[in-house]
Amino acid sequence: MQLDAYRHVHCIGAGGIGISGVMKFLCAKGVSVSGSDAKRSMITDGVANLGIPVSIGHDASNIPSNTDLVVYTEAATEENAERVAALERGIAQMGHFDFLGELSKDYRTICITGTNGKSTTTAMTGKIFIDAGLDPTVFVGSMVPGWKYGNVVVGKSDIMIIEGDEYLRKVLKLFPETTVITNVELDHTDVYKDLSDVEAMFAQLGRQTAKTVWITMADQQRCLYRGDGTARIGVFGYELMQHAFTSWNDPLPCVDRYFANGTQSLDILEQDGAIHKAKKLGTLTLNIPGLFNMMNALAAKAVALEYGIGLQNIFESLASFTGIWRRFERVGEWNGAQIISDYGHHPTAVKGTLAGVREFFPTNRIVLLFEPHQHNRTKELFDDFAQSFGGADVLILSEIYGVLGRTENADVAVSSATLLEAAMQSATPPKEGHYAKNLEDAESMLRSTIHEGDVVIVMGAGDVDQVARRMTTPSGSPLAGGGL
């Protein structure tokens, strides 16, 4: 992709994590760039702090006269005023992932995707490659502490690591050298009709992958083709499966996880046919909780080994990984309680996060404020959500977050009130449950509920994160300062 051929690139959706990453990348590459968004946010401010002009509100006049490419968020429809103006002026247009797909043709691209865990796994993989001196370019759908631009790293090598978004099948715009599929579950029910539809999409991505496809042990039979021979299939996470070895396994098994001083660890063993007699090669230790995060780390390890990075280098890099924005992010304290913000919005993510918190804090009371995300998802996954809250001692359910452009046919009969009722009648209910009609009421309930020593999880993909920020003084938030 000849970036120097463009006089100016205008980006619609500067407040989105994806488009903001594109803008930062273009700026770092010396390309003239501007952007716009419907409202100001910390993300638009971070882009503007780089000296990139960002207009608030969508208007044809936002597009500079010398613009020869518009890159837009997929949430900006053809009726968007700036897209209409670009069409009238004959300016080329690309969606966010159309742009990344074209860009990826210039790199040895590693795509990390899946229903859950892809942002953390992308950040882990990027960190390992950076620490190993491979100087990759990385696009991640979150903010990573310590990275100059937060959600993107602009490297000089021919390796690009990119988080692949399965919503609207956008990930199929990529043709990677290597693909990681962290897990496969039904989500985005406004796009996929059922689980088989999701599996078919990931199988197509496998066919588009040139070299190696890494998947979890649990999902290897579901989503991966064995057909056209374009890519070798590998499995990460075998270390957590204590049964007979197979020809599909990652050759570095390990034994049980164990916990100490707010960490979780796995001993990695050399395969010699008997897992309990194998030579210990080292220990993988994480400072973030959850079995799912250990699986994320094993995925990152599998890719790093594939690209020639030594096992000890991988261990050292992951041991200093502190997590990412809104993925078990320790925001601060309030009245002696820890406040943690988490982006989880799928039942598996909710259940897995609560289980991980309990492993790290076995004696603390766990308080969960959860804001369901999007009416259709809540309706389609209702039963799974109802069963996912048992790890919380206290549950506060705020009303469902309506997603712009995806709620016109919202089923108003689906409510957090009905979800709470189902959760309290489930096989594993929380000890205490409360319904809040909005986030203001939810915050009030939370403040009156918290005890000293509690671990408070503020969870959801919508505006619920603002509650965590209001209740604490952020310390080290990747969105705070830094010219992001």
Please choose, from the candidates 348, 16, 347, 380, the residue with its C-alpha nearest in 3D space to the C-alpha of residue 188. 380
Residue 480 lies in a domain: no
Q: Are residues 360 and 386 in the same domain?
A: yes
Residue 438 lies in a domain: yes
Q: Are residues 361 and 451 in the same domain?
A: yes
Task: Give the pLDDT confidence score for residue 265 in this predicted structure.
Answer: 93
Task: Give the pLDDT confidence score for residue 464 in this predicted structure.
Answer: 93
Domain-ending residue, one of 100, 123, 138? 100
Task: Give the pLDDT confidence score for residue 132 in this predicted structure.
Answer: 98
Q: Are residues 202 and 223 in the same domain?
A: yes
Q: What CATH number is given to the structural domain containing 18?
A: 3.40.50.720
Give CA–CA dist 483/243, Å, rounded: 49
Residue 419 lies in a domain: yes
Residue 483 lies in a domain: no
Q: Are residues 396 and 277 in the same domain?
A: no
Query: What pTM, to 2 d.p., does this model score?
Result: 0.81
Which residue segment(s) compose the domain that 384 sits in?
A: 329-471
Helix (H) or strand (E) holding 192: none
Place of tokens 């993989």: 125
Domain-ending residue, one of 301, 319, 337? 319
Residue 324 lies in a domain: no
Q: Are residues 132 and 96 in the same domain?
A: no
Q: What CATH number is given to the structural domain containing 184?
A: 3.40.1190.10
Q: Are residues 75 and 116 in the same domain?
A: no
Domain-ending residue, one of 319, 343, 373? 319
Q: Are residues 336 and 462 in the same domain?
A: yes
Q: Are residues 162 and 310 in the same domain?
A: yes
Please choose, from the candidates 123, 116, 118, 158, the residue with its C-alpha nearest in 3D space to the C-alpha of residue 138. 123
Q: Are residues 158 and 92 in the same domain?
A: no
Q: How far apart are the first and last CA of the chain?
A: 25
Residue 479 lies in a domain: no
Q: Are residues 297 and 152 in the same domain?
A: yes
Q: Are residues 127 and 269 in the same domain?
A: yes
Which residues of the chain have a pLDDT value below 70? 225-229, 238, 241-255, 271-278, 404-412, 473-484
Q: What is the 3-state secondary structure (H, E, C) of the chain?
A: CCHHHCCCEEEECCCCHHHHHHHHHHHHCCCCEEEEECCCCHHHHHHHCCCCCEEECCCHHHCCCCCCEEEECCCCCCCCHHHHHHHHCCCEEEEHHHHHHHHHCCCEEEEEECCCCHHHHHHHHHHHHHHCCCCCEEECCCCCCCCCCCCEECCCCCEEEEECCCHHHHHHHCCCCEEEECCCCCCCCCCCCCHHHHHHHHHHHHHCCCCEEEEECCCHHHHCCCCCCCCEEEEECHHHCCCCCCCCECCCCECCCEEECCEEEEEEECCCCCHHHCCEEEEEEECCCCHHHHHHHHHHHHHHHHCCCCHHHHHHHHHCCCCECCECEEEEEECCEEEEEECCCCHHHHHHHHHHHHHHCCCCCEEEEECCECHHHHHHCHHHHHCCCCCCCEEEEECCECCCCCCCCCCCCCCHHHHHHHHHCCCCCCCEEEEECCHHHHHHHHHHHCCCCCEEEEECCCCCHHHHHHHCCCCCCCCCCCCC
Residue 285 lies in a domain: yes
Number of domains in the chain: 3
Q: Are residues 267 and 130 in the same domain?
A: yes
Residue 466 lies in a domain: yes
Task: Give the pLDDT confidence score for residue 221 in this predicted structure.
Answer: 73
Task: Give the pLDDT confidence score for residue 479 in this predicted structure.
Answer: 39
Task: Give the pLDDT confidence score for residue 94 in this predicted structure.
Answer: 96
